[in-house]
Structure 1
Amino acid sequence: MDRTTIDTYTRAAQQYAGEWAGQPPPDDLYALLLQYFRPGGVTADIGCGSGRDVAWLNAKGFLATGYDASEGLLAEAAAQYPSYAFQHAELPELAGVPRGNFDNVLCETVIMHLSPEQVGDACRRLVDLLKPNGVLFLSWRVTEGNSARDAAGRLYSAFDAQLVRAALAGTTLALDEAATNQSSGKSVHRIVAIRRA
C-alpha cells in the first residue's frame, strides 16, 4: 500500500478511530453482508481499521479476523475489541494471510489507497484468499478525475471499475453497483464476487 497513507493512519490512529466510531453505523453494508456472506463462515476483514466491522461480524456469528497495514490502527482495534484477532498484512501481497482459507472476505473502502497499477494484483490476491464458492465483498471510494491526496496525505486513486472486474476472473459477480456509503456519505463502488468451484 501507499506508505504515506499507512503512516498517516498510524500517526493519527486514535483520531481516525474516534471519527469512525462517531459515524452512523453502516447498516447498508451490514445488510449486504448478511445477504451474501456464507453464514458462520471463516471471514477475513482486509483493511479492518479500528475493528468495528470485525466486532459486528463476530457478533453475527462469522468467525472473523481483522487484517490491516497500520500498526496504529491495529493497536486501536486490539484495545477496543480484545476478544477478537487482529494481524498485520498489507495489500497487494497480504503476506501471511492464508490462501484458500476463507468463506468470506470483506475489503471495505481500502483499495483506493493503492496506486492504480497495484489494484489488479490486490483484487486477484483477495480472490486467492477464498475457498471455492467463497464470497468477496469489495468496495472502494470513487475518485473522479485524477488520483489525489487529501489534506492529511492519504492517497485516493482514480481508476475505472473495469480494472477491478477484469482482475476478478474466476468469479461470478453477484453485485456490481455505484452507491453512497450510508456511514461516511461518500460515493463508493461495490462488488460482490463469488469464487467459482
Structure 2
Amino acid sequence: MDMKTLATYDRDAADYAQEWESQPAGEDLRDTVRKFFTQGPTIDVGCGSGRDAAWLNANGYPTVGVDASKGLLLQAHEMHPELSLFQSALPELVGVKEQSFENVLCETVIMHLPIDLIEPSVQKLLRLLKSQGILYLSWRVTEEEDKRDERGRLYAAFDERIVINGLAGAQLLMDEKIVSQSSGKIIRRIVVRKN
C-alpha cells in the first residue's frame, strides 16, 4: 500500500471507522454479493472498520478480515469483536493461505496502491480463491493523473487494462461503473469466477 495513505488510515482510524460505520454498506454491494457469492469461507481484503466483513459474516459467509492498517484493525476489533481479523497488505498478503476461500471481497482498495503493485495484487486476490471461487473487486476511478485527498490518501489514476490483465483466465460475470451513494465518485465494479 502507498505508505502515506497507510499513515493516514493509522493516524485517523477512529474518524474513518466512525464515518464508515455510520453508513451501512450500499444495497448495490449487498445485492451483488447475494447474486454472486456462494456460502463458504470468505475474506474481506482491506476490511477497514470491519463493517462489510461483519455483514458478510452475519449473512452466511464466514468471513476473515484483513487490512494493512493497524489503527483500522484496532477499531474493527472494538466494533466487531466476533470477527477474525489480522494485519497484512497487498500484494503479498503474508499469512493468508492461497486457494482457501470461496469468495474474496476487495472493496475500494486498489486505487490506494502504487500503480506497479496493482496487477500483482489483483493476481494475488485470484490466487486466494478455490476453483470456481468468486472475486468482487471495486475501485474509485481517477482520471488523468494520481490525486491525493486533503488527508493525503492516494487515488491512483491507472489504465483499467492493468486490472483486466491481472484477471486473465478468470470468467467475467459483471463489469460496471456506478456513482457512489456516499462520495458521488465513479466506482468500477468487477465480479469474476476463477476457473
TM-score, reference length from structure 1 = 0.96
Aligned to 1:8: 8
Aligned to 1:48: 47
The answer on whether the counterparts of 1:124 and 1:167 sit within 8 Å (CA) in structure 2 is yes
Distance 1:134 1:22 in 2: 31
Bigger CA drift: 19-28 or 173-182? 19-28
**Alpha-carbon offset, residue 117 of structure 1:** 1.2
Distance 2:108 2:92 in 1: 17
Q: Which amino acid aligns with 1:3?
A: M
Q: How many residues align structurally? A: 195
**Alpha-carbon offset, residue 25 of structure 1:** 3.5
Q: Which amino acid aligns with 1:33?
A: V
Q: Which amino acid aligns with 1:178?
A: K
Q: Which amino acid aligns with 2:93?
A: L
Aligned to 1:170: 169
Aligned to 2:178: 179
Q: Which amino acid aligns with 1:27?
A: E
Aligned to 2:117: 118
Q: Which amino acid aligns with 1:14?
A: A
Distance 1:180 1:165 in 2: 21
Q: Which sections of structure 2, spanning at least 5 residues, go unmatched? A: none
Bigger CA drift: 18-27 or 183-192? 18-27
The answer on whether the counterparts of 2:103 and 2:135 sit within 8 Å (CA) in structure 1 is yes
Q: Does 1:94 align with 2:126?
A: no
The answer on whether the counterparts of 2:25 and 2:51 sit within 8 Å (CA) in structure 1 is no
Q: Which amino acid aligns with 1:99?
A: E
The answer on whether the counterparts of 1:45 and 1:66 sit within 8 Å (CA) in structure 2 is yes
Bigger CA drift: 183-192 or 124-133? 183-192
Q: Which amino acid aligns with 2:11?
A: R
Q: Indicate the RMSD between aligned Cα atoms, in angstroms.
A: 1.0
Q: Which amino acid aligns with 2:67?
A: D
Aligned to 2:35: 35
Aligned to 1:145: 144
SS in 2 for 1:91: coil
CA shift in 2, pair 1:89/1:54, >3 Å: same
Q: Percent identity?
A: 49
Bigger RCO of structures 1 and 2 (CA < 8 A, at least 6 apart): 1
Aligned to 1:154: 153
Distance 1:62 1:71 in 2: 24
Distance 1:160 1:19 in 2: 30
Distance 1:63 1:25 in 2: 17
Distance 1:93 1:41 in 2: 23
Distance 2:75 2:68 in 1: 13
**Alpha-carbon offset, residue 121 of structure 1:** 0.4
**Alpha-carbon offset, residue 24 of structure 1:** 4.8
**Alpha-carbon offset, residue 18 of structure 1:** 1.1
Q: Which sections of structure 1, spanning at least 5 residues, go unmatched? A: none
- How big is each residue's C-alpha offset from its partner over 1:86-120, in whole Å with a ceiling of 9 and x where there is no partner? 11110111111110000000000000000111110
TM-score, reference length from structure 2 = 0.97
The answer on whether the counterparts of 2:46 and 2:67 sit within 8 Å (CA) in structure 1 is yes
